[in-house]
Chains A and B, each alone.
Chain A
Amino acid sequence: MTIVLNGVRREAPAGASVLALLETIGLAPGRVAVEINGRIARREDFAREPLRDDDRVEVVQFVGGG
Chain B
Amino acid sequence: MSAEVADAPTPGPMGSRSVKLISCVLSDDGTERRLLRWLRDQGITGANSVYCRGHSVLREAKARRGKLPEPELVRLVTIVVDVDEADALFELIYAQADIHRSGGGILFMTPLTFATPFVLPEGVADGCGSFATTRID
The answer to whether A and B come from one shared complex is no
B interface residues (Cβ-Cβ under 8 A, vs A): none
A interface residues (Cβ-Cβ under 8 A, vs B): none
